[in-house]
Structure 1
Amino acid sequence: MDALPGERTLVLDGGLATRLEDLGCDLRDELWSARLLHDDPAVLRRAHRDFFAAGADVAITASYQASVPGFTARGLSRGEARALIARSVEVAAQARDEAGGGIVAASVGPYGAARADGSEYTGDYGPRAGTADALADWHRERWHLLAESGADLLACETLPSCTEAQALVRLLAETPGVRAWFSFSCRDGERISDGTPLAECAALLAGHDQVVAVGANCTAPRHIPELVSGVRGVPAVAYPNSGEIWDAGARTWRGARDPAAFGAAAREWRRAGARLIGGCCRTTPEHVRRIRAHLD
């Protein structure tokens, strides 16, 4: 895509894994939804299509937790692993074409997602793995695969640290013509997971002409207005979780999942400055349908 529309708000999809679980998929696996790129790409295509049918303009691919090391650890060859990462874009593009149009954003999940240890919500990767050089080296192969996949743009999402964003900007510079948004996991209405103010991260990223938006995802909805209002010099992106809270001890979600309230809140996020709006964990096609209705 050449640019984001000036005043028009793009509606992103919702929680892909949530939709897959609602369709009967068991995602209790370190590869999470990426496992289905090998086992059942047809159900991924259906989930993408369901979000387009609900009114989404953008599908985010199932590559968030995909990596060459993750697939080869399951016995696949490097060539097979690389093909599966590219397949994430192919499947979303098929759903887009079946829906009659839309945008495909290739998901670039953080290093912590591949570790499957929760560190994508802290950015605590250790003194060696957590440097910009080390993170750029780790991301590079998947980045280039997705950059050359035919996706409309890359979605650098759930980033817990400003250092990881800086590493990905280096890779963005290696792929001229590719555009990306940068979305962070945030601990409150001001700071991303590692404690850096989101406004500070946005200021660092806004000077790069390949960056199309900066904002927050996988974050409590109540924090979104304050977070996106601090983004300057670049459009804001916002796709929070449903507002429910994960109880790790009981291994269950606490709170109500209310698509109507979520959709209504999207108007406030737009007033605060968001121009790309959708949902993350625990949001469904119904959440997207409500967003579309309220924003229209």
Structure 2
Amino acid sequence: MPRDRPAPDLPEPLAPLIDAHTHLDACGATDAASVAAIVDRAEKVGVGRVVTVADDLAAARFAVDAANWDPRVYAATAIHPTRANVLDDATKAEIELLAGDPRTVAVGETGLDYYWPGKLEGCATVEEQVEGFRWHIDLAKRLRKPLMIHNREADHDLLAVLIDEGAPETVIFHCFSSDANMALACVEAGYVLSFSGTVSFRNARDLHEAAKLVPDDQLIVETDAPYLTPHPFRGAPNEPYCLPYTVRSLAHTRGQDPVELAEASTATARRVYRI
């Protein structure tokens, strides 16, 4: 978790908003009271609901617990692609059970990450990631829940696997960070693109161009907290309450009224997650 700078002040409220992807456990939540405290701060600025996302089995258990502790919280459960090498039969069985919980609104985050293999000790190989991704795609289709994708430097292969397997009805590209060509390919395929604090970074010119191409009904917003704190707070801790900073920056990039974007992204998130 970033700790180089103090936490940002609460932004001016912007409502209604749904944080479509956050990690409450990594933000420091451990129990019902600490979950409520984080969501209370978010609610003060218009972020009334959050989806807390798992990247390993412990986080998946926590996400479902958190979603059952607080009605403003929903869960997404899966094993992160860099950890796909832990997907034995027992882990798959528990992830499937957690993903089937009524408070779980998506299977994620799963996908492909080509940045870390060879750099991170114990990271799943590309082959293991592809196998795990295929399993999660099948799980999402069987449960009829959205598939939430993590994509890092794997644009072509991600789209190829989705085509090969047959994509679920709803596919969400979490923290979309690719270029305009990838955005157009995803929009054409009917996928939903979720934008995080990276869209506010001044040097993210390709992402800015991509963000202009996404229709309102295929766009949602997220914090990915405690990571990717929006400009001008990079290096500070992120939390769901910071989402209005990102939305205002995204609205400026798209030439859109922030309230209009907040309403549209929330409508899309409600439809996508069925909440």
Per the alignment, in what secondary structure is the counterpart of residue 214 of structure 2?
coil
- Decide whether the 8 Å contact of 2:149 with 2:172 is kept in 1: yes
1:181 to 172, 182, 193: 172
* C-alpha distance in structure 2 between counterparts of 1:254 and 1:11, whole Å: 20
User: In the alignment, what sits opposite 1:266?
Assistant: 247
Aligned pairs (5 A) from 1:126-205: 129=126, 137-151=131-145, 153-171=146-164, 173=166, 175=168, 178-184=169-175, 186=177, 192=178, 197=179, 199-205=180-186
Per the alignment, in what secondary structure is the counterpart of residue 18 of structure 1?
coil
TM-score by length of structure 2 reads 0.56
Per the alignment, in what secondary structure is the counterpart of residue 88 of structure 1?
helix
Per the alignment, in what secondary structure is the counterpart of residue 111 of structure 1?
strand
TM-score by length of structure 1 reads 0.53
Unaligned runs of 5+ in 2: 1-15, 32-53, 267-275
Q: Which has the higher contact order (CA 8 A, sep 6+)?
A: 2
* C-alpha distance in structure 2 between counterparts of 1:171 and 1:218, whole Å: 31
Could you say if the C-alpha distance between residues 110 and 261 of structure 1 is closer, same or farther in structure 2, counting changes exceeding 3 Å? closer
Check if 1:44 corresponds to 2:63. yes
Identity among equivalent positions (%) equals: 8
User: In the alignment, what sits opposite 1:86?
Assistant: 96
Letter in 2 for 1:219: T
Unaligned runs of 5+ in 1: 1-7, 25-31, 73-77, 97-103, 120-124, 187-191, 247-252, 278-296
Q: CA deviation at 1:217?
A: 4.3
Could you say if the C-alpha distance between residues 118 and 108 of structure 1 is closer, same or farther in structure 2, counting changes exceeding 3 Å? farther
Could you say if the C-alpha distance between residues 235 and 264 of structure 1 is closer, same or farther in structure 2, counting changes exceeding 3 Å? same
Letter in 2 for 1:12: A
Aligned pairs (5 A) from 1:1-296: 11-19=19-27, 21-23=28-30, 33-36=55-58, 41=61, 43-49=62-68, 52-53=71-72, 59-65=74-80, 69-72=85-88, 78=89, 80-91=90-101, 93=102, 95=103, 104-112=105-113, 129=126, 137-151=131-145, 153-171=146-164, 173=166, 175=168, 178-184=169-175, 186=177, 192=178, 197=179, 199-209=180-190, 211=191, 213-217=192-196, 219=198, 221-222=200-201, 226=208, 229-232=211-214, 235-242=218-225, 254-257=235-238, 261-270=242-251, 272=254, 275-276=264-265
- Decide whether the 8 Å contact of 1:105 with 1:154 is kept in 2: yes
